[in-house]
Amino acid sequence: MANSHKNLNFRAIIYSFIASIILTGLKFIAYFQTKSYAVLTDATESIVNVVASGFALYSIYLTRQPKDQNHPYGHGKIEFFSAGFEGALIMIAGIFTLFPAIISFFKPHPIANITEGIFFIAITIVINGGLGYYLQWLGKKNNSLALVADGKHLMSDSISSLILILGLLIVKYTTIKNIDTYLSILLSFYLIKNGYQLLRKSIGGLMDESDYQTLEQLTKVLNVNRRQNWIDVHNFRVQRYGSDLHIDAHLTLPYYISLQESHEEVVSFEEVFRNNIEGEIEIFTHTDPCVPKCCSYCLITNCPVRKFQFESKIEWNPSKLGINAKHYVL
């Protein structure tokens, strides 16, 4: 199942790469038709689309490679680097397109062939919007940050092109001056903002920043499938490597059960995640024996060695599961 997701991701990013080349050509045709600096800003950002899609294509190709001695956790983290690279390129494009916009503010020039320019840009909006939506949907479904980043990039490109068309229509049907310059500056700051957001997310992933959404999902799965012998879960940590998930957990079990029974509980514990979470999952589970203080929240109804009376059930949540301590010392 995990390999089929990776193959689907790879095909999708190939479509994105091919489309980005075609759309960049269309936008430069629109610029040469209109001589609009706002259109030039949009077209320049599309060059970034080509480079970014090419790098995303390479990163998703790498994620399909199996684990090896040099990469025991697989190659999935390249997707964080890909998203960061794309974010940095978007920011650079936004910064550099500010200069001609500022120059045009002091030296405005007429815009020509507006109708033809709008036609070419409208084509890019339809293709970018549809492909961007699909890439985001597929990326979220298959936990591919590279796909999500490329999809967001295409969607933001589609939105900026829509704003651009509105501006060209204003120029065509009104006497408002410098609207092209204002739009170019606005689009430049829009690119810088989107690039920063992508860069921030990629850095968080490379530094193994907590993914609270994934933790909540795993906690819900754990609570729904909770068993009596799972007295406590703590030091629960999650790392995502592209679409692959790595989980570390400490599981407290009754101290009197046999090694074979303990092993069976661990297998059941790990299968809960594999059966309910899509993608490839690697789990390392450390077992701890219970102690008398665990009795106050232990759910075993017929425990033969209970020392203290049951008081209340502890509800597992991401905050409690992540602490490196048994709940009785909190």
Q: What digits encode the pLDDT tens for the residues 152-192?
A: 778 877 877 777 777 778 777 776 667 767 777 787 788 78
Q: What is the mean pLDDT of residues 188-200?
A: 82
Q: How far apart are CA 321 and CA 215, in angstroms?
A: 9
Q: What digits encode the pLDDT tens for the residues 32-80?
A: 887 777 677 778 777 877 887 788 888 778 777 777 777 766 677 777 7
Per the prediction, the chain carries an average pLDDT of: 81
pLDDT of 230 > 90? The answer is: yes
Sign, Cα dihedral of 151, 16, 84, 42: negative
Q: What digits encode the pLDDT tens for the residues 116-127?
A: 778 888 888 888
Q: What is the mean pLDDT of residues 298-305?
A: 90
Query: Which H helix or E strand runs over 235?
Result: strand 232-241
For residues 45 and 97, the answer to whether their CB atoms sit within 8 Å is: yes
Long-range contacts of 172-178 (CB under 8 A, 24+ apart): 172/114, 172/115, 177/108, 178/105, 178/108
pLDDT of 15 > 60? The answer is: yes
Give how far the C-alpha of residue 129 lies from the chain's centroid of Cα atoms, to the nearest Å: 18
Tokens representing 125 are 């909006």
pLDDT at 243: 63
- pTM (2 d.p.): 0.61
2-206: CATH architecture:
Up-down Bundle (1.20)
Question: Binning pLDDT at 50, 70 and 90, where does residue 20 land?
Answer: confident
**Nearest to residue 35, comparing CAs of 110, 104, 107?**
110
213-329: CATH architecture:
2-Layer Sandwich (3.30)
Q: CATH 1.20.1510.10 occupies which residues in the chain?
A: 2-206
